[in-house]
């Protein structure tokens, strides 16, 4: 319980510096005053806009829940430093992961305790959000695939005819919608979907120098 309170204090400190700069707007699961219901609404709006603009929409959902236990800690601390996390905060986050042990239960028999050296603790789930943001940035850095939505802020948002005008419109790229440890990748075609999945799966690891 004490660890949870300590982790919340750290998160509150970092939420004004690191998290807003690193975690993208498309991640509502790890940002303050937001939740996955907001991203569900966005996904529904995306469906409606694609129908209005007569564009196909393809989605693929990725579950990151198992990745919590596979994150390499050594370079994760380095990644925090790259993003400007104060060294004293990194030291405190490391302390939350020091001395972690677990037991395995097989057929009703419990094994001896063993040390856990990989993975981000569920107590600091926002730490995984920083890792995920770095991975997405590396995967899609040079890719333009996704769903483009035309917007026109100066017009009546309910009048679809305004969006047929080529002037004074803005094209917004939507590629991933993040529901905490789950993500929806969106594109306009099956070919793009395969390409975006291939690029995403090729990102085996993220290092601070990437």
pTM for the structure as a whole = 0.68
Task: Report the pLDDT averaged over residues 135-145.
Answer: 77
Inform me whether the pLDDT recorded for 119 exceeds 80: no
Residue 210 lies in a domain: no
Residue 207 lies in a domain: no
Residue 123 lies in a domain: yes
Instruction: Give residue 58's pLDDT.
Output: 92
| Domain carrying residue 101 | 2-202
Inform me whether the pLDDT recorded for 50 exceeds 80: yes
Residue 148 lies in a domain: yes
Instruction: Give residue 210's pLDDT.
Output: 58
**Alpha carbon distance 57, 43 (integer Å):** 11
Task: Report the pLDDT averaged over residues 123-131.
Answer: 74
Instruction: Report residue 117 as tokens.
Output: 């050296």
Cα radius of gyration (the chain): 20
Which residues, 6 or more positions from 137, have their beta carbon under 8 angstroms from its beta carbon?
Answer: none
Q: Is 193 exposed, middle or buried (0-12, 13-18, 19+ CB in 10 A)?
A: middle
Instruction: Report residue 42 as tokens.
Output: 């966005």
Inform me whether the pLDDT recorded for 163 exceeds 60: no
Instruction: Give residue 156's pLDDT.
Output: 58
Instruction: Give residue 2's pLDDT.
Output: 65
When divided into structural domains, the chain yields a total of 1
Least confident of 27-41, 55-69, 129-143, 148-162: 148-162
Instruction: Give residue 17's pLDDT.
Output: 67
Residue 209 lies in a domain: no
Dihedral sign of CA atoms 191, 193, 196, 201 in order = negative
Q: Which residue has better confidence, 147 or 166?
A: 147
Which residue in 135, 136, 166, 134 sits closest to 152, CA to CA?
Answer: 166
């Amino acid at each position: 319980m004490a660890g949870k309170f300590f982790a919340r204090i750290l998160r509150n400190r970092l939420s004004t510096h690191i998290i807003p700069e690193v975690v993208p707007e498309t991640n509502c699961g790890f940002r303050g005053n937001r939740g996955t219901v907001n991203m569900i609404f966005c996904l529904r709006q995306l469906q409606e806009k694609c129908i209005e603009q007569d564009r196909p929409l393809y989605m693929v959902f990725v579950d990151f829940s198992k990745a919590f236990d596979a994150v390499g800690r050594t370079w994760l601390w380095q990644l925090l430093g790259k993003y400007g996390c104060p060294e004293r905060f990194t030291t405190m986050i490391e302390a939350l992961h020091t001395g972690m042990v677990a037991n395995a239960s097989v057929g009703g028999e419990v094994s001896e305790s063993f040390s856990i050296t990989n993975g981000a603790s569920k107590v600091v789930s926002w730490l995984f959000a920083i890792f995920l943001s770095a991975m997405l940035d590396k995967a899609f850095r040079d890719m333009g695939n996704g769903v483009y939505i035309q917007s026109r802020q100066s017009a009546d948002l309910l009048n679809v005819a305004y969006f047929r005008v080529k002037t004074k419109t803005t094209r917004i790229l939507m590629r991933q919608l993040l529901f905490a440890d789950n993500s929806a990748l969106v594109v306009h075609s099956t070919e793009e979907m395969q390409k975006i999945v291939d690029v995403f799966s090729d990102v085996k690891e993220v290092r601070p120098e990437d």
